[in-house]
Amino acid sequence: AKPKPGTNILIALTQEEETGGKGMPVMAAKLPAHAAAIVGEPTKMQPCIAQKGLLIAKLTVAGKTAHASRPQQGKNAIMLLAEDILRLQKLASGKLPSHPLLGKVTITPTMMTGGSARNVVPAHAEAILDIRTIPGAHQEILTLLNKTVKSTITPLSIRLVPKATAKTANIAKLAAKASGKRFISSTGMSDWAFLSCPAVKIGPGDPTLSHTKQERISETEYKKAVKVYTAIMEEYT
């Protein structure tokens, strides 16, 4: 590529994106100032200009133990947790914050633990929530959760923030022009979460095959990607 005078191109190769995103935060702190970025994730070469964030939280309920033959003497933490899960279900079906490209915030219970024995009323129960957030409603969603459930809420991860780039941003317009495709959004995570500049996620490959045995990039896709990336770099000012 032959970028325009005054435009410097930096290629940053990161690692561990799939196993906790440990590579990019370290690299981002060492990168020189940058005005825009292309995030090379599989999008079928469609320019992605919005990406949901990820917030992981734990619900904890304290009950009171008792023998299961006398449940009235205890306080069943699993039942109390189940009531909160139903409250979250009602919340999720209602008016959660929404984004024109990304849609609504989603709240998904993905793990539950509780109880110590078959014949004992559980005194403790926990659930893990996978919360996919949108710009303007990341940490703020924790306030909404605290108003909704009776469980104790503990944030486990809040660093993977949502991202959005305006359609009018130079990098977005160039990506759309070079690819000839419409803008899309993404519910999946990427190293974009650690960038503070306008960015577009675009790359060869089918995102639905990511992290599967079928994940692949054809030679045709690869060559098209090279042309698109080159066009963006040569036109950027």
In a domain, 10, yes or no: no
**Backbone φ and ψ of 130, nearest 5°:** -100, 110
Q: Considering 112, 131, 160, which residue would you say is the last residue of a domain?
A: 160
Mean pLDDT over residues 31-37, rounded? Answer: 89
In this structure, of 28-37, 102-111, 122-131, 171-180, the range with the lowest mean pLDDT score is 28-37
In CATH, what number is assigned to the domain containing residue 176? 3.40.630.10
- State whether 70 and 117 are in the same domain: yes
Q: Is the pLDDT of residue 147 over 90?
A: yes
- State whether 110 and 146 are in the same domain: yes
Which residue range(s) make up the domain with 214? 23-51+164-235
- State whether 126 and 198 are in the same domain: no
In a domain, 123, yes or no: yes
Q: Is the pLDDT of residue 177 over 80?
A: yes
- State whether 44 and 74 are in the same domain: no
- State whether 126 and 223 are in the same domain: no
| Phi-psi category of residue 67: left, alpha or beta, with phi > 0 → left and psi -120 to 50 → alpha | beta
- State whether 147 and 171 are in the same domain: no
**Residue 237 pLDDT:** 86
In a domain, 202, yes or no: yes
52: closest CA among 155, 133, 137? 133
Domain count of the fold of the chain: 2
Cα–Cα separations (whole angstroms), residue 184 to 23, 33, 63, 236: 26, 27, 46, 21
In a domain, 18, yes or no: no
Q: Considering 141, 160, 179, which residue would you say is the last residue of a domain?
A: 160
Mean pLDDT over residues 124-146, rounded? Answer: 94
Percent of the residues in the chain that have a pLDDT greater than 70, as a whole number? 98
In a domain, 1, yes or no: no
pLDDT digits (tens, 9 = 90+) for 16-27: 676 666 788 888
**Residue 19 pLDDT:** 65
pLDDT digits (tens, 9 = 90+) for 51-99: 999 999 999 999 999 999 999 999 999 999 999 999 999 999 888 999 9
In CATH, what number is assigned to the domain containing residue 86? 3.30.70.360
Q: How many helices (H) and strands (E) are present in the chain, helices listed first?
A: 5, 13
Coil vs helix vs strand at 226: helix
- State whether 57 and 156 are in the same domain: yes
Average pLDDT, whole number, for the chain? Answer: 93
In this structure, of 68-72, 135-139, 159-163, the range with the lowest mean pLDDT score is 135-139
